[in-house]
Chain A
Amino acid sequence: MATVQVSEAEKVYILHGIRDDLRVDGRSCEDYRHMEIETDVVSNTDGSAKVTLGHTVVLVGIKAEIGKPRPMVPDEGYLEFFVDCSANATPEFEGRGGEELGTELSNTLYKVFNNKRSLDMKSLCISPGEHCWLLYVDVLLLQCDGNLYDAISIAVKAALFNTKIPRVHISADDEGGKEIELSDDPYDCVRINVENVPCIVTLCKVGHRHVVDATLQEKACSVASLIISVTHKGTVTCVRKVGGGSLDPESIFEMTEAGKRVGKALHAPLMKLLQQEESLGKKRQKVGFLG
């Protein structure tokens, strides 16, 4: 996996910094690194977003396809997640090397996003029991510099915000046979309400304190981390402990509180940015990987 070797002296330096709320790159413990977001970067997807967090680069593409609703919930659509840890990020991912991490990441994404509290799954239904939209959310990891969960979750939210599903009409004939007709107007699209879509905040326990948005070096000093998905209202929808070490209940409580706080505050600038970008419409110059 994308890890770095950190020497003992370095570790001490990082630990001491964090203890004094001054991290190696000058941030305080609850600061994020510089983040850049751009939506609609891959034109043949229905929605896409590129997120750069520090040196971590994530590209998310969403494709809407018509599928059959799951038998348990016939009036809902659903999401499919796939995380491609590409060899571009690190040679270790070559071949099947990235699969393990990819599966771990996508499993978390299912838990966080694929439920009715995050998204209005009913709005993805076309005709109950027969047709629904299924959104393929494909995450492409292009460069790893720590804090993958947060970057991916923000990119997914931005891409969902950006997603335009073509409007379909159901025409029924006398015999009850149903026919799906696509709207002739390319502007006639359905948008997804992303208001309740959570973002993931990863907190790393380093020494006695915890930090958000850990770099690879900081991660190497951490015993374990906690990922918390938080909505814009500050509701925690999911908590998971990841990493090899152990955490005491006390610090889990503290970290959850911090995660809630940070997560809640994260949504506002994110949404503002997305709406701003959206309002530019066609005038916005697309940059993608060229800038």
Chain B
Amino acid sequence: MAGLELLSDQGYRLDGRKATELRKVQARMGVFSQADGSAYIEQGNTKALAVVYGPHEVRGSRSRTLHDRAVINCQYSMATFSTAERKRRPHGDRKSAEMSLHLKQTFEAAVMTQLYPRSQIDIYVKILQSDGGNYSVCVNAATLAVIDAGIPMRDYVCACTVGFVDETPLADLCYAEEGGGGSSLALALLPRGGQIALLQMDAMTACKGVSKVLDEVVRQHLQDVSVLTRE
């Protein structure tokens, strides 16, 4: 048998969404009391917890201290039971390290670090259940947690993935869609300025005229999340 049919002739995806529809998004801020900020977000079956500690003084080696701004320290990890096949360890593998680095870069661009010289802000994100779009869900969770911590940001960071089935862009891919071949593109944006904080494309596809469509898809999502966070 051939693989899954990602987009039916009637325009429905595997889970019944149309091409540009996002999964159901649910979020809550202030999940934990001990951390300075925390948030929980679900995008369909991808569920993430983010907590923020800080700003506090730089832990460990003093040499990491920056004199003009705060150090952003991120750790991305996944619960061992979060994936269909059990993971051996929650973090420390190459993929997690890469994700941590991406998160760090994304939030260095968004958080107004210059307000907290010689200090450190920890952002820890944990995927509790993984069903595609882990990175974007993490970014969204972390944004909410940073807001919960009351740390000023230039803008919200919102992220979403887009994939393609025969040149039709699909928003917010689930795991089955990510694995269905084709390409996927993860994008984090600062919606007010329309600035891109992270752009990552896997697999090879034409970017011909695609960026325009993609922009629209992501913008729509941004609006959703911004509305959500402002409520």
Contacts and interface: CB of A to CB of B under 8 A. Distances in A.
| Chain B binds chain A | yes
Interface of A: 42-45, 48, 55, 57, 59, 61-63, 65, 82, 84, 86-91, 94-96, 136, 138, 140, 142-145, 288-290
Interface in B99-135: 122, 124, 126, 128-129, 131
A87 B84 contact: no
Nearest to A137: B81
B81 A91 contact: no
Given A44-B84, A63-B81, A84-B77, 10 more contacts: A42-B82, A44-B83, A44-B129, A55-B32, A84-B80, A87-B77, A88-B38, A94-B122, A143-B34, A143-B35
B129 A42 contact: yes
A56 to B, nearest CB: 10
B33 A59 contact: no
A87 B75 contact: yes
Contacts of B33: 55, 143
8 pairs of A and B residues whose beta carbons are closest in the complex: A61-B81, A289-B40, A87-B124, A138-B80, A138-B81, A84-B90, A88-B51, A45-B81
Given A63-B86, A136-B81, A91 B49 contact: no
B32 A143 contact: yes
A61 B49 contact: no
Nearest to B50: A88
Interface string B133-155: 00000000000000000000000
Contacts, number: 100
Nearest to A145: B34
Interface string B47-64: 101010100000100000
Contacts of A288: 40, 42, 47
Contacts of B38: 88
B23 interface: no
A42 B124 contact: no
B198 to A, nearest CB: 22
B45 interface: yes
Given A86-B90, A290-B42, A55 B79 contact: no
Given A44-B45, A55-B33, A62 B75 contact: no
A91 B92 CA distance: 16
B31 A289 contact: yes
Given A86-B90, A136-B86, A142 B81 contact: no
Nearest to B51: A88
B28 interface: yes
Given A138-B81, A290-B28, A290-B40, A91 B59 contact: yes
B168 interface: no
Contacts of A289: 28, 31, 40, 47, 49, 128
Contact of A290 (B26, B45, B77, B92): B26
Contacts of B79: 42, 59, 61, 84, 138, 140
Nearest to A60: B81
B49 A142 contact: yes
A48 B28 contact: no
Contacts of A65: 86
Nearest to A45: B81
Nearest to B45: A43
Contacts of B51: 88
